[in-house]
A = this chain, B = another copy of it.
Amino acid sequence: MASSGEEQAPAAAVRVLGGWASHYAIRVYVALKLKGVEYEFQQEVVGSKSELLLKSNPVHKKIPVLLHHGKPVAESMVILQYIDEIWASDGAPAILPADPYARAVQRFWAQYVDDKIAPASVVLRGVVNGDKDEAAAQVSAALQHLEEAFVKCSQGKSYFGGDNIGFLDIVLGSHLGWLKAVEEIAGVKVLDESKFPELTAWADRFYAHHAVREVMPETDRLVQFNTYLISVLKAKGLFGSHV
Binding site for B on A (CB under 8 A): 59, 68, 71, 73-75, 77-79, 81-82, 85-86, 100-101, 103-104, 107-108, 111-112, 145
Q: Could you tell me if A59 and B112 are in contact, using CB atoms closer than 8 angstroms?
A: yes
Contacts of A68 in B (CB 8 A): 101
- Can you list 21 contacts pairing A with B, beta carbon distance less than 8 Å? A59-B112, A68-B101, A73-B101, A73-B104, A73-B108, A74-B108, A75-B111, A77-B111, A78-B107, A78-B108, A78-B111, A79-B104, A81-B103, A81-B104, A81-B107, A82-B100, A82-B101, A82-B103, A82-B104, A85-B100, A85-B103
Known: A78-B107, A79-B104. 9 other contacts (CB 8 A): A59-B112, A74-B108, A75-B107, A77-B107, A77-B111, A78-B104, A78-B111, A82-B104, A86-B100
Main secondary structure of the interface of A (DSSP, over half): helix
In the assembled complex, the Cα of A108 lies from the Cα of B85 at a distance in Å of: 15
In the assembled complex, the Cα of A28 lies from the Cα of B71 at a distance in Å of: 31
Which of B78, B86, B103, B108 makes the CB contact (< 8 A) with A75? Answer: B108
Which of B101, B108, B111 makes the CB contact (< 8 A) with A71? Answer: B101
Which 8 residue pairs of A and B lie closest in terms of their CB atoms, listed nearest first? A85-B100, A82-B104, A78-B107, A73-B104, A86-B100, A78-B108, A78-B104, A75-B108
Contacts of A107 in B (CB 8 A): 75, 77-78, 81
In the assembled complex, the Cα of A81 lies from the Cα of B84 at a distance in Å of: 15
In the assembled complex, the Cα of A59 lies from the Cα of B110 at a distance in Å of: 13
In the assembled complex, the Cα of A107 lies from the Cα of B79 at a distance in Å of: 10
Nearest-Cβ distance from residue A32 to partner chain B, whole angstroms: 15
Contacts of A73 in B (CB 8 A): 101, 104, 108
In the assembled complex, the Cα of A77 lies from the Cα of B78 at a distance in Å of: 13
Contacts of A103 in B (CB 8 A): 81-82, 85
In the assembled complex, the Cα of A190 lies from the Cα of B82 at a distance in Å of: 33
In the assembled complex, the Cα of A209 lies from the Cα of B28 at a distance in Å of: 38
Contacts of A85 in B (CB 8 A): 100, 103
Nearest-Cβ distance from residue A228 to partner chain B, whole angstroms: 28
Closest to A71 in B: B101
Nearest-Cβ distance from residue A192 to partner chain B, whole angstroms: 21
Contacts of A81 in B (CB 8 A): 103-104, 107
